Structure 1
């Protein structure tokens, strides 16, 4: 009987593992079909840089308010799967509405509704994966890397689809990928975290913002994660500006996102060797250097040839940042903490960088937008350095 029980546990763990891989693969396939190539859709309906920046800021603005609420609901109700399924179903259906509109006002309305549900997807999915990784004593990066694989494949395939069928292909590919993610989600059990949950869901935020390390990390995410996400909005226009094509954009994103997977695979090794704080700092420095280099208008050949910079910067950052949040916040507030982190990076940081980046593009050109991204990232190094110094001081005191 004991061996049978062990076999059942292993079978359940394997099924959950495959379900999480499928979730990451298709959630990020949808994301890769949508966000990096939306500028092509905006351009096709005649929107200006400022209008594109404004629309791109909708998801961040809504995320600031909606993501913590989604997270607190998950922590309070101790469920993940039903809420994630709702968010996936709603965002899939709403995405198809873009095929029926072509004015700035209607895009704002539909994008706002879309963002309300879409902003819940990644933090909740990350929470499920982090919880599973902790239970199975494995590195989160080994799960998260499948998102980069899906994202990479999607940008290439959707880039070709846009050339053949036009920008509306974006929304059909997104909806199809999201439905496939739901199929994998149905095979995943939702066991909760088996921890005591605060009685008042709003008490969690108060507890988190009283943690200096977490607050400093959020400040860093604002200035570092913001440009990373804003690049998904502006890169296609930037790449065309330096002489690239729409298909070339897909190839670039294939290589960029594909390079994240191996770096995520080894992120755990470097985090154990150097520490989470140092690994995150290295990723941030690489990210800042990348944006400054882009502002010098290198050739498309050089941009493609240096594709691995994305893996070093974004791959390391994404794999280690979520782990930092998990290890520096109470387990009972894990989803709330992840959604606050996402709200600062995907939310406030992206909103700030998209709005300012759009104005800079219209006034000075797209190259100066990337100069701004580089400056913002350098500012984000300051709170990360403070975290590193505080950690070093504590180690010295213990010795």
Structure 2
């Protein structure tokens, strides 16, 4: 059929794009805390780096989403973001002092958070516009990011162990450059988001009002934000804990690789499972699952248990991500989804990240790494309570509601 071939080509390029952008992240992210530890930074200093970076994300992400939603050249926004990320994170390997490292990490995080959330939201749009039957789910595209991250962290562990952090950085820069090439090759139709012109004029405060006014979306967003397993304090200190328990860098990289590879089957079936079981039910199951994972390390603190529970992050992360993206795109007008996804997936999650890392840095310096897992379990309990109080899903926002918000905004 004439229309299916271009669609297939677009999706192939977009899968390659996801493979590369997440592959670039895998080259460095799992080893940042080890690098900071080698530089002699304390737990409080490491937490400060993470917290200040999150503060930058909170300030920048909503504006980034708004700029992307309104930009006439969305491709240029993404290419510019990748360039800034390469220059900032790519410089840290050659820095030794705390303040310069903090500055460049903050610049990187300010762009990285909204860049990835915007790319994920864009992939949802690409999947929903596909004419191919059976391969149009968000997960079927996003899983290539998991594969890219899994492969790159495995390679990165070998590079780190044999050659050092500087060579990880060089590999990161090469993969970012390839990502930019793929972006340039993507057809312009990928960046076209259909919707009313009026919807494009919604202000940031109007988009925030859309989110807060929907009780289910607002409480679920809060619940997901305060216990995100990829951005919590446990994730920041887990590589150090693994190293203290006797695991080498290669094994730490293997844990990250297996976790990312574990996301692949969940990504394939997540959309179908969510439709069959229900968004609220899946989110609550995930919270209970995470409580059990965190308490397992608290009761049985060993290298093997930490390794296994780290790998099991794949199930939690996948369903949290797909549920979050699905809720935003089900409930809110299409032409504000990038802004809304930045507000929820980056800003709100960033606040949760700051609180979790502040607690974790304090506890790490005074009590050790094991107690951080108890804090993580407590945050998951709070998330479960919020989810239970959210009520039932109601998709009440339509064109009339958006028009009324525009009129109220003047």
Instruction: Tell me the TM-score normalised to structure 1 length.
Output: 0.90
Q: Decide whether the 8 Å contact of 1:226 with 1:346 is kept in 2.
A: no
Contact 1:61 1:347 in 2 (8 A): yes
- Does the 8 Å CA contact 1:218/1:344 hold for their aligned counterparts? no
Question: What pairs with 1:1-399 in structure 2 (closer than 5 Å)?
Answer: 6-7=1-2, 9-77=3-71, 79-136=73-130, 138-188=136-186, 189=188, 190-196=190-196, 197-202=199-204, 203-225=206-228, 228-305=231-308, 309-344=312-347, 346-387=349-390, 389-391=391-393
- CA drift of 1:348 comes to 0.8
Q: Counterpart of 1:397?
A: none
Shift in alpha-carbon separation, 1:200–1:311, aligned structure 2, 3 A = closer
Q: 2:356 & 2:275 partners in 1: Cα distance?
A: 32
Contact 1:142/1:264 (8 A) holds in 2: yes
Quick one: distance in 1 between partners of 2:175 and 2:286?
Answer: 29
3-state SS, counterpart of residue 165 of structure 2: coil
Match of 2:400 in 1: none
Distance 2:33 2:334 in 1: 39
What is the CA–CA distance in structure 2 between the aligned matches of 1:315 and 1:343, rounded to whole Å?
A: 16
Q: 1:90-138: per-residue Cα shift (whole Å, max 9, x none)?
A: 1112222112210111111111222222223111101210101111272
Cα separation, 2, equivalents of 1:72 and 1:222: 21
C-alpha deviation, 1:301, in angstroms = 3.1
Shift of 1:366: 0.5
Please say if residues 227 and 353 of structure 1, whose CA atoms lie closer than 8 Å, have aligned partners that are also in contact. no
Distance 1:50 1:355 in 2: 8
SS at 1:295 equivalent: helix
Distance 2:19 2:141 in 1: 10
Q: Pick closer, same or farther for the CA change 1:79–1:371 going to 2, 3 Å.
A: farther
Contact 2:15 2:144 in 1 (8 A): yes
> Over aligned residue pairs, what C-alpha RMSD do you find?
2.1
State whether residues 145 and 264 of structure 1, in contact with CA within 8 Å, keep that contact through their aligned partners in structure 2.
yes
1:42 shift after superposition:
0.1
2:18·2:142 contact (CA, 8 Å) conserved in 1?
yes
The runs of 5 or more residues in structure 1 that have no matched partner are 1-5, 395-399
Q: Deviations over 1:355-383 (max 9, x none)?
A: 21111100110011111111111111122
Cα drift, residue 298 of structure 1: 3.8
Cα distance, 1:329–1:269 mapped onto 2, change above 3 Å? same
Larger CA deviation: 358-367 vs 317-326: 317-326
Distance 1:199 1:272 in 2: 32
Aligned partners of 2:54 and 2:350 also within 8 Å: yes
Structure 2: gaps of 5 or more residues? 397-410
Counterpart CA distance in 2 for 1:308 and 1:106 is 33
Contact preservation (8 Å) 2:57, 2:111: no
Could you tell me how far apart the structure 1 residues matched to 2:208 and 2:120 are? Answer: 19
Query: Counterparts of 2:307 and 2:108 in 1: how far apart (Å)?
Result: 32
The answer to whether the 8 Å contact 1:36/1:235 transfers is no
